[in-house]
Structure 1
Amino acid sequence: MNWHEHWPAALTAWGRFTKVHDPLYCESTSDARTAGLTDSFAMFRLDDRTVVLDMQAVAELGLHDMPVEVMAHEIGHHVLCPADLADNARLLARVRRGIPGFETFAPLVANLYADMLINDRLQRSRGLRMSVVYERIATPDPTPLWTFYMRTFEILWSLESGTLTRAAITEDIEGDAQLCARLVRVYATDWLRGAGGFAALCFRYLSQSAEEALATTRKRVCVGIVGEDTHIPGLTIADDDVIVHPALDPHVNEFAPREAPADEPHPPGEGQFREPFEYGQILRQLGVNISDETAAARYYRERAAPHLVRFPVRTKPLSTEPLPEGHTAWDIGEPLEAVDWIATATRSPVVIPGITTVQPITGRTEGADTAKRPVDLDLYVDSSGSMPDPRRNVSYLTLAGAILALSALRAGARVQATLWAGAKQFLTTDGFVRDENAIMHVLTGYFGGGTAFPIHMLRKTYIEQERAEPTHIVVISDDGVDTMVRMTDEFGRPGSEIAARSLANAGAGGTLVLNLWNDWEEKIRAITPGWDVHRVTQWQDLVDFAAAFSRKQYERSTA
């Protein structure tokens, strides 16, 4: 059967104006694997909106005469659920909260939920034979999860028990299937709200089944998602809706108490955002091939974005206007384009190279216009054992550093970022750079060692060489910053002397942003004269500091 001839009918099942790329028909399972299809006979790639079909597997499962049903189902992932990568990410995150301890099964559960919504719409509203598809792909030894899933379809479509199920229906399975069927109908047009309840129904079957037992279930569902290294905005924000089991949801169970928990967001605070490790897990479960370091960099970029501000600038005159100062002789060997032919012809009608040829003399004068020069940033972030690993948990030191660095880059400044912990434990950019990736690579690193400020970095940057551009030094730490002045460098030079000279040579001041307790602020001020000391009592306050830094700390450098 020529499946491509039935492609228009599959599109029409979702409306006359539905447009999707033509399917990719893979003749063999090996070709399908090359296209990214590994756990099913068909899928919909959300990244490029393409239906991929394993025609060999389709034939082996006896679905060769059901092109409209199979392809319309895949189109449903584009039209109905999850529609795009961003919605799929939100669906996956909601499902993860409904199966605590079994988050690795979230892609499977999310796909089962999406398939159920799509199939119910096609079977009831479009008259397609979705029940026949499941009859043909039925397994003789199903898992409890698959039995519960098939029993739900039987209830949704008023099928006799045993039509799709191949195992005994226990009271628990029957009760869960009844609730699930009701949930699918109630949340058909608001499917994200129902995802948590569906996951809660699946929870008991995941806890009773091992990874190997669910492998056959995976082979019978349309995974349908292949994501490349794509940025998905909004994923750092945590899902704050309450997950309610359908038995306690008055919209699903009419006997549930009406005082069921309401969907109220968490109060303002860190609970509004996901942890970096969870952010990375969700991306990988979406199919995005990403490392912990890259995931962390994206996480802090997104969280820093709302706080980015214009970086401070200095105004200085431009010396670019040419000033004619007469002519001088042009001789052979000098650039030919330097000859002023009009002045040469005026001087003599006969042109003799090196004798009558002249070239202009041009000086420079200070222009009337002015230019704004952003102040460069030299950033030092503490990564000792008392600080969190930014790749696992939220590090407000990293977030504040990202806000400062990205603000500087936005204004055209250059940034030198240094991560430091114990002796010889430091990571730095290759001088002052405008490479955002290089800066984020440093800021999202982690040592977790002792505490020893890298005094040699100040010495190399401001004493061993002349720093031509005005630079502001920012150090983010706690009371461990005292190692900057009470220790010596590898040559025995006092840190206090190096810090003082570096501050003077930087040309735009320095700020110590420190989490301090009790009388530590006065101690730090006493041993770091000339430095601005900004004290915070909790790490979250670093975000407010970083957002206001350009306006408050650099007012004196904009004159």
Structure 2
Amino acid sequence: MTERLAALVDEAFPRAVARWSPFLLLARPAIDPDEEKLPARVNLRARTLTLGAPAIEARGLEGALEALLAHEIGHLVAFPGTLVAEARLRLLERTFLPRRARPLTGVFHELLINERLGGALEEDLCAILSSHDTTAWRRDPAFVFHLAVHEELWQRPPGELMGEAFEAFEAEFPGYRADAQLLAQNLFALAPNVTLQFLYFMSIALRYAIPPEGERAAEAEPECAEGEPSPEEWAEALVPQAAEKQAVRRAIEERWFPQEIAKVLAEQGIERRSAAMPGQSLGRSGIAEVMAAHYRREAERFLFKPPPVRLRADELVPTTLDDWEPGDPVGAIDWVATLIGRGETLGAAMPMTRERMADEEGLEDTVWQGRTEIYLDVSGSMPDPTRSINAMTLAAQILAMGTLRAGGAARALVYSTEHESHWTFCRSERILSRFLMSYIGGGTEFPFDVLNDSVEEQRREQPVRIIITDRDFDGNYDARPENAPIFARAAARSPALVLLLHAPDMKAARRYEAAGAKVVPVRTLDDFPRMAAALSFSLFDRPAEGPRH
């Protein structure tokens, strides 16, 4: 069977590709000799096609391979096309629809693809659709309803595609045929705004989204489109695009949904959309990773280069060549020597590095490197950053990422009544960003002992120190008599000690400035990201100086 199927695929695959574009480059589909449930599936992450030989033979679909492949290719190139597009629709669905075993995005995309491929492939597509087992339709009525929409779209006899579910479905959902006719008539005219089409589809299919009372929700069969969005893709989907906002406004204005659903739809803020993420598949750590990615995207708009901190390092001169190995810094590759010595072909596969060593031990030169030490207040006065936007956390993300983008390193500490730290200077945006999503809640107690230890530990290479907090810091400062000298010593030895201070008491702020710190007052919480960006200019006001002792 596999050899015969391979020969048929060789004929059908180029025609299926041409249905979308003659210039589309895709790998030939793999054939799975053990797949018995799905005749075909597509992996949106790997962008690969797989055919299930036993399933194709059992359903008698050898003659419909072109339609089968063209449909799967449609998931790759159009609907959804990308996992970000899939994530956007899922978030929209989950803002007002209870969790389902199968998101309604699946049957929605089936309709869009098959409508595009109809005509010459209609008969083969009908053969594929009618091969589905609909005996367990009560567990997922929406799947059978989408078969009814296909019947209306192509003017097929009622029940031809719905199979054994036809009579029972009609008894359970009187009037479903009128709904199917409405969708077949109006859905495709709403293109090219896919979000608008999805909302219209949902407004009608909502009736069939929840199984009849007493039935356990389940998939009729596995989805043919595989692949879950990554944290970065979920993060990109969290912010609605202009087309999404336009679609929501129109859906509300034309009253496609009941008032309670329309009210929820109108609130497409970060809190609402982040709450709609699939916690069951992502888990709490996965949701925190998504929100960290979202904060990184937000921080991109405010990035800055921190002031360089003068370090001393031996003057290095190039010496002997050695083979570059995976894991070595890419910047260490000597491409000129590689291409001269090994040629273009071999050199690209086996680059060489040039070892560098001090020409004379003890001979030093100035090296510039940005180093930032961040103290972030995560007390109960601010929201959990994994659930909504925390302005202080975003400011910390901006400062940390700005340091790394400038080629420097950063470390961070979050504090409330207790504190947690990532106290190794780090150059990984992902690691620092993920750590800064930590949340403690409770009261505020700044760790002056940690600040003091840091000043002593970094005697020679003092970093820029930034404290992000509110006026609760004033009480911490006065709590113990030794705190003020620790603060003054940190200000004296740091290239800059900066307080990003929310709603400060200006008398207290002048006291911190008299101790040698720079205070950046933040009037409202929403100003934190902007002030974090402005901090970059304040730190560049004068040429960088060496560390003060």
TM-score range, shorter chain: 0.7 to 0.9
| Other structure's SS at 1:451 match | coil
**Paired residues for 1:452-491 under 5 Å:** 452-462=445-455, 464-488=456-480
**Paired residues for 1:316-465 under 5 Å:** 320=315, 373-422=368-417, 425-462=418-455, 464-465=456-457
Relative distance call for 1:556 and 1:68 in structure 2 (3 A) is same
Relative distance call for 1:446 and 1:139 in structure 2 (3 A) is same
| Other structure's SS at 2:24 match | coil
| Residue of structure 1 equivalent to 2:89 | 91
| Other structure's SS at 1:548 match | helix
Contact 1:381/1:419 (<8 A) preserved: yes
* C-alpha RMSD of matched pairs (Å): 3.7
**Paired residues for 1:73-152 under 5 Å:** 73-97=71-95, 100-102=96-98, 104-105=99-100, 108-143=103-138, 144-152=141-149
TM-score by structure 2 length?
A: 0.76
| Other structure's SS at 1:385 match | coil
| Residue of structure 1 equivalent to 2:531 | 545
CA distance in structure 2 between the aligned counterparts of 1:515 and 1:306, rounded to whole angstroms: 21
How far residue 22 of structure 1 moved from its aligned partner, in angstroms, is 1.5
The amino acid across from 1:439 in the alignment is L
The amino acid across from 2:374 in the alignment is L
Question: What does the per-residue CA deviation read over 1:404-439, in whole Å, with 9 as the maximum and x for residues that have no partner?
Answer: 0111112233322110010xx211123433333332
CA distance in structure 1 between the aligned counterparts of 2:380 and 2:240, rounded to whole angstroms: 27
| Residue of structure 2 equivalent to 1:243 | 248
How far residue 320 of structure 1 moved from its aligned partner, in angstroms, is 4.8
**Paired residues for 1:47-86 under 5 Å:** 47-86=45-84
How far residue 244 of structure 1 moved from its aligned partner, in angstroms, is 6.7
Number of aligned positions between the proteins: 478
| Residue of structure 1 equivalent to 2:32 | 26
**Paired residues for 1:304-319 under 5 Å:** 304-313=299-308
Gaps of 5+ in 2: 257-261, 318-358
How far residue 112 of structure 1 moved from its aligned partner, in angstroms, is 0.6
Of all paired residues, the percent bearing the same amino acid is: 24
Structure 2 residue 193 is the aligned partner of structure 1 residue 206: no
Q: Which protein has the larger Cα radius of gyration, Structure 1 or Structure 2?
A: 1
The amino acid across from 1:538 in the alignment is T
The amino acid across from 2:184 in the alignment is A
**Paired residues for 1:155-170 under 5 Å:** 155-165=152-162, 166=166, 167-168=169-170, 170=173
Question: What does the per-residue CA deviation read over 1:215-237, in whole Å, with 9 as the maximum and x for residues that have no partner?
Answer: 143x1x64412247574373342
The amino acid across from 1:535 in the alignment is P
How far residue 501 of structure 1 moved from its aligned partner, in angstroms, is 1.5
Relative distance call for 1:529 and 1:442 in structure 2 (3 A) is farther
Relative distance call for 1:537 and 1:107 in structure 2 (3 A) is farther
How far residue 288 of structure 1 moved from its aligned partner, in angstroms, is 11
Contact 2:404/2:427 (<8 A) preserved: yes
CA distance in structure 1 between the aligned counterparts of 2:31 and 2:88, rounded to whole angstroms: 30
Gaps of 5+ in 1: 33-38, 253-260, 323-360
- Partner of residue 42 from structure 1, selected from 31, 40, 43: 40
Relative distance call for 1:404 and 1:234 in structure 2 (3 A) is same
How far residue 297 of structure 1 moved from its aligned partner, in angstroms, is 2.1
The amino acid across from 1:545 in the alignment is M
How far residue 301 of structure 1 moved from its aligned partner, in angstroms, is 1.1
The amino acid across from 1:12 in the alignment is A
Relative distance call for 1:196 and 1:139 in structure 2 (3 A) is same
Question: What does the per-residue CA deviation read over 1:104-163, in whole Å, with 9 as the maximum and x for residues that have no partner?
Answer: 339621111111111122232544421222222141352342343222111101112222
The amino acid across from 2:433 in the alignment is M
CA distance in structure 1 between the aligned counterparts of 2:39 and 2:511, rounded to whole angstroms: 71
Structure 2 residue 151 is the aligned partner of structure 1 residue 154: yes
CA distance in structure 1 between the aligned counterparts of 2:377 and 2:413, rounded to whole angstroms: 9
How far residue 527 of structure 1 moved from its aligned partner, in angstroms, is 6.3
| Residue of structure 2 equivalent to 1:501 | 489
Contact 1:485/1:494 (<8 A) preserved: no
TM-score by structure 1 length?
A: 0.75
Question: What does the per-residue CA deviation read over 1:496-540, in whole Å, with 9 as the maximum and x for residues that have no partner?
Answer: 22112222122x2322212227xx332454467433222223221
The amino acid across from 1:235 in the alignment is A
| Other structure's SS at 1:3 match | helix
| Residue of structure 2 equivalent to 1:281 | 277
Question: What does the per-residue CA deviation read over 1:49-105, in whole Å, with 9 as the maximum and x for residues that have no partner?
Answer: 1112333334444545432232221111123211222332333334445xx042x33
| Residue of structure 2 equivalent to 1:173 | 176
Structure 2 residue 7 is the aligned partner of structure 1 residue 10: no
CA distance in structure 1 between the aligned counterparts of 2:215 and 2:226, rounded to whole angstroms: 22
The amino acid across from 1:22 in the alignment is R
- The structure carrying a bigger helix percent of its residues is 2
How far residue 375 of structure 1 moved from its aligned partner, in angstroms, is 4.5
